[in-house]
């Protein structure tokens, strides 16, 4: 059995768990890497529900910040507790440069994988950087270029972008965003989005709805509109506008049923329930598990959302998406025609929703547009790239542009620079070049 090298994968929120689960599965299947799932504890129960779908459990739970913790407290807690975990689990101390031997023997993390743009992901990336652990950023390069929208996610992903040695960008547009920020293209690998991998996998699971009202609706022939609304920047007036827009659509289309899983945050729940709970064709339900939500997404006719990931996932199932935000970092979907940005203006939500519910040509134009976000093989590419960084050989085939092995090695630090260059294996080396492997590993 070959030695397997440890890679902590930091998971803080339910969306992170969804999009990192395919990566964890692919790492677990690797002959060279062992995933160590690190839960920050932020959304512990929801994260565990996702991991349970594939039989994984966290190596450690950091319990970083309660539900009401402010952003500064959460960032500080994740940074400190992640460093404590690394110090206990590995021979890691902030500021100390590890050796190649320590990495190959599993005494120092080969890398830390973080996803997206949460404050916990940013904190873990910064903590890893201080410990000289290479940061690998999944879903890199999303940008609105306004650090206050979405808040605080836009700044978080820019900070992670400055610390990361390797950027796994879902699309070519994401790559271009990074290049404009002077990230070398040689350290960016376009993979597609792991959220598509997760959705296609979850859609194969046999699940039923615990809510009998929803199960009955699912089995009926009524059109369903799925609504999700919870973004921090929409709290207050934004959520009020969304609720008013949904109410207006529901009044115009009593034959359509609107299903809204309500986020448990009181600032969200009070606004949405206060305006929508008395409407006959609006069903407010508790948040769904990932697999059951995937099933609902496949059944619905249209999606109204202020979420990020759903903007990529729903079009892969042929569902038009109206984005109830003022800005979106998923500009490729807007360009491709799978998404339409409507903001939180109730009049615009009603206008665009009504058009898609009443005009079959307009609906077909969005539902049949090609989804630019992936083909379900992003996690496979990510782990293939990590293996290539370690053992050399042929570079994996990208979803878009590739990367340069030596450039990533130099950015990752001395321990990786030696692996990727000192023994003479060139970047993106061809077949026939002797791979670099741990002494007790086999190829």
Question: 16, 83, 139, 326: which is the annotated catalytic residue?
Answer: 139
Instruction: Give the pLDDT confidence score for residue 168 in this predicted structure.
Output: 98
Cα–Cα distance, 384 to 390 (Å, whole number):
10
Rounded mean pLDDT of 117-139? 96
Average confidence score pLDDT of the chain: 89
Instruction: Give the pLDDT confidence score for residue 19 in this predicted structure.
Output: 95
Indicate if the pLDDT at residue 10 is higher than 60.
yes
Relative to beta strand 302-305, strand 224-228 is parallel
Rounded mean pLDDT of 248-255? 97
Question: 223, 232, 275, 355: which is the annotated catalytic residue?
Answer: 232
pLDDT digits (tens, 9 = 90+) for 13-24: 988 999 999 999
Residue 270: count other Cβ atoms within 10 Å of its Cβ. 12
Q: Which residue is associated with the tokens 């110090």?
A: 87
Token pair, residue 157, equals 């992903």
Instruction: Give the pLDDT confidence score for residue 267 in this predicted structure.
Output: 82
Question: 263, 275, 299, 301: which is the annotated catalytic residue?
Answer: 263
Instruction: Give the pLDDT confidence score for residue 68 in this predicted structure.
Output: 62
Question: 4, 81, 115, 117: which is the annotated catalytic residue?
Answer: 117
SS3 state at 61:
strand
Query: What is the pTM assigned to this prediction?
Result: 0.76
Is there a catalytic annotation at residue 153?
Answer: yes
Instruction: Give the pLDDT confidence score for residue 94 in this predicted structure.
Output: 65
pLDDT digits (tens, 9 = 90+) for 332-351: 899 999 999 999 999 999 99
**b/e for 246-266, b at 16 or more Cβ within 10 A?**
bbbbbeebeebbbbbbbbeee
At 355, is the pLDDT very low, low, confident or very high (cuts 50, 70, 90)? very high
Is there a catalytic annotation at residue 139?
Answer: yes
At 389, is the pLDDT very low, low, confident or very high (cuts 50, 70, 90)? very high
Instruction: Give the pLDDT confidence score for residue 105 in this predicted structure.
Output: 86
Cβ-Cβ contacts under 8 Å for 90 (sequence gap 6 or more): 6, 107, 108, 109
Helix, strand, coil % in the chain, rounded to nearest 5? 45, 10, 40
Cβ-Cβ contacts under 8 Å for 359 (sequence gap 6 or more): none
SS3 state at 123:
helix
Cβ-Cβ contacts under 8 Å for 52 (sequence gap 6 or more): none
Q: Where are the beta strands (DSSP E) in 143-256?
A: 166-169, 188-190, 224-228
Is there a catalytic annotation at residue 230?
Answer: yes
Length of the chain: 443
Is there a catalytic annotation at residue 93?
Answer: no
What are the distances in angstroms from CA 18 to CA 38, 91, 273, 443? Answer: 14, 30, 27, 31
pLDDT digits (tens, 9 = 90+) for 405-429: 888 988 888 777 666 654 333 333 3
Q: Half-sphere exposure of residue 90, counting CA atoms within 13 Å on the CB side? A: 30
Instruction: Give the pLDDT confidence score for residue 269 in this predicted structure.
Output: 87
pLDDT digits (tens, 9 = 90+) for 25-36: 999 999 999 999
pLDDT digits (tens, 9 = 90+) for 138-182: 999 999 889 998 899 999 999 999 999 999 999 998 999 999 999
Question: 4, 187, 230, 388: which is the annotated catalytic residue?
Answer: 230
């Amino acid at each position: 059995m070959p030695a397997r090298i440890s890679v902590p994968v930091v998971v803080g929120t339910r969306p992170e768990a969804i999009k990192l689960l395919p990566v964890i599965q692919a790492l677990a299947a690797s002959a060279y890497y062992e995933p160590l799932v690190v839960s920050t504890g932020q959304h512990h129960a929801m994260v565990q529900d996702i991991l349970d779908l594939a039989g994984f459990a966290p190596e450690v739970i950091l319990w970083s910040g309660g539900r009401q913790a402010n952003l500064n407290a959460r960032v500080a807690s994740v940074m400190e507790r992640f460093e404590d975990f690394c110090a206990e689990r590995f021979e890691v101390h902030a500021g100390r440069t590890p050796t190649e031997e320590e990495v190959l023997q599993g005494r120092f993390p080969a890398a830390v994988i973080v996803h997206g743009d949460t404050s916990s992901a940013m904190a873990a990336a910064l903590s890893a950087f201080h410990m000289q652990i290479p940061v690998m950023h999944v879903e890199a390069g999303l940008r609105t270029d306004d650090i206050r929208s979405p808040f605080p996610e836009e700044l978080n992903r820019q900070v992670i972008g400055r610390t990361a040695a390797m950027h796994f960008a879902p699309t070519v547009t994401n790559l271009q965003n990074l290049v404009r920020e002077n990230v070398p293209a040689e350290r960016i690998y376009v993979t597609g989005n792991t959220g598509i991998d997760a959705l296609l996998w979850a859609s194969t699971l046999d699940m039923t709805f615990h809510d009998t009202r929803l199960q009955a609706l699912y089995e009926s022939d009524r059109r369903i509109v799925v609504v999700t609304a919870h973004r921090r920047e929409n709290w207050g007036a934004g959520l009020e506008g969304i609720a008013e827009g949904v109410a207006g659509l529901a009044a115009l289309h009593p034959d359509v049923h609107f299903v809204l899983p309500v986020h448990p945050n009181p600032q969200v729940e009070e606004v949405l329930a206060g305006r929508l709970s008395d409407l006959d064709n609006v069903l407010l339900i508790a948040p769904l598990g990932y697999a059951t939500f995937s099933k609902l997404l496949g059944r619905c006719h249209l999606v109204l959302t202020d979420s990020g990931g759903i903007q990529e996932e729903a079009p892969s199932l042929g569902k038009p998406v109206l984005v109830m935000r003022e800005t979106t970092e998923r500009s490729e979907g807007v360009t491709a025609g799978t998404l339409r940005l409507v903001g939180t203006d109730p009049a615009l939500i009603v206008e665009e929703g009504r058009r898609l519910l009443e005009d079959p040509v307009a609906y077909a134009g969005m539902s049949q547009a090609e989804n630019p976000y992936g083909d379900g093989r992003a996690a496979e590419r990510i782990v293939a790239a990590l293996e290539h960084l370690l053992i050399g050989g042929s570079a994996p085939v990208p979803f878009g542009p590739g990367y340069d092995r030596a450039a990533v090695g130099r950015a990752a630090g001395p321990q990786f620079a030696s692996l990727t260059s000192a023994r003479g294996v060139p970047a993106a080396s061809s077949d026939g070049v002797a791979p670099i492997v741990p002494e007790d590993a086999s190829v």
